[in-house]
């Protein structure tokens, strides 16, 4: 199970599309391309990307109108959106942000700056999709090397348990229902029995038990699961 973030790029100018695709692939992102809001809608209906990079000026439906439409639907209301545009006026920027964009990059842009802005947005909105080392309580998780340790001692986890722990360690002190975890950890539109979550929680807890931190994984009966490094007792 890959932890690579997917960026959906909606841009109708082929040269700019190629430039963005090259820069993002080099930076380690998975890139999906669309030339219009209509194409992007079909892609999003299949699977949510982690970030939407959206050109302001698109054929038929504008990027701003598309962003606004996405914000009005529960499934896409929190989708991280960066608006890409030649408009640099302050009131245009304000309009884009007010209608649903999280960030705004003006053309011409530096590919390096674009990558940095996407990474910054992911750190804020989807930290489990970044390569940043995470430390919570006695635990350290390194996504790049796929390593977990407690007080410096390695913990061996399967790919799904690792991904689940990464999500928990970047979203502490909140309880998530099984359906939420399936969407956020396994991925949007993944049709898996909700009880599968219980199996992986048990495996994760068993691995952490040997290190004395199984209590970090919390269960609230009838509600779901969470993660907290606050020591009990």
More confident residue, 161 or 194: 161
| Residues 111 and 183 reside in one and the same domain | no
- Strand ranges in 11-156 using DSSP code E only, listed in sequence order: 30-34, 51-55, 81-85, 103-106, 134-136, 139-142, 147-150, 153-155
Q: Quick check: helix, strand or coil at residue 41?
A: helix
Residue 39: exposed, middle, or buried by beta-carbon count in 10 A (0-12, 13-18, 19+)? middle
Reported pTM: 0.68
Would you say residue 105 has pLDDT above 70? yes
Task: Supply the CATH number for residue 205's domain.
Answer: 1.10.10.10
Q: In what order do the strands lie in the sheet with 147-150?
A: 134-136, 139-142, 147-150, 153-155
Lookup: tokens for 142: 């390194």
The DSSP bridge partners found for residue 224 are: 220
Same domain for 10 and 60? yes
Above 50 in pLDDT, residue 222? yes
Stretch 5-14: mean pLDDT, rounded?
A: 94
Q: Please state the rounded mean pLDDT for residues 191-212.
A: 89
47-102: pLDDT as tens digits = 889 999 999 889 899 888 999 999 898 888 888 999 888 766 566 556 656 667 78
Q: Where are the alpha helices (DSSP H) in 72-110?
A: 90-98
* Stretch 25-45: mean pLDDT: 95
Confidence of residue 7 (pLDDT cuts 50, 70, 90): very high
Count of structural domains within the chain: 2
Q: Do 138 and 181 contact (CB within 8 A), yes or no? A: no
Whether the CB-CB separation of 5 and 82 falls below 8 Å is answered with: no
Q: Domain of 96: which CATH number?
A: 3.40.50.2300
Q: Residue 1's pLDDT is what?
A: 38
Select from 129, 164, 185 the last residue of a domain: 129
User: What is the pLDDT of the chain when averaged over all its residues?
Assistant: 87
Contact yes or no for 31/17 (Cβ under 8 A): no
**pLDDT exceeds 90 at position 190:** no
Does residue 1 lie in a domain region?
no
CA dist 230 to 106, 215, 220, Å?
Answer: 44, 9, 16
Same domain, yes or no: 121 and 146: no
| Boundary (domain end) residue, out of 97, 129, 161 | 129
């Amino acid at each position: 199970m890959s932890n690579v973030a997917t960026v959906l790029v909606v841009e109708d100018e082929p040269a700019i599309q190629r430039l963005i695709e090259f820069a993002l692939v080099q930076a380690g992102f998975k890139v999906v391309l669309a030339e219009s809001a209509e194409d992007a809608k079909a892609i999003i209906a299949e699977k949510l990307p982690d970030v939407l990079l959206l050109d302001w000026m698109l054929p038929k439906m504008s990027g701003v109108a598309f962003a606004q439409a996405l914000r009005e639907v529960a499934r896409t209301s929190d989708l991280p959106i960066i608006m890409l545009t030649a408009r640099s006026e302050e009131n245009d920027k304000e309009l884009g942000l007010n209608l649903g964009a999280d960030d705004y990059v003006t053309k011409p842009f530096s590919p390096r700056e674009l990558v940095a802005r996407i990474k910054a947005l992911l750190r804020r909105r989807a930290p489990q999709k970044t390569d940043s080392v995470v430390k919570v309580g006695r635990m350290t998780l390194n996504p790049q090397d796929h390593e977990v340790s407690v007080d410096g001692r390695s913990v061996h986890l399967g790919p799904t348990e690792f991904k689940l722990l990464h999500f928990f360690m970047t979203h502490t002190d909140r309880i998530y229902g099984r359906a939420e975890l399936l969407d956020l950890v396994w991925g949007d539109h993944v049709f898996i029995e909700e009880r599968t979550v219980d199996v992986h929680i048990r495996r994760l807890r068993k691995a952490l038990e040997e290190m004395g931190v199984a209590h970090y994984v919390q269960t609230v009966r009838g509600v779901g699961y969470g993660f907290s490094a606050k020591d009990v007792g």
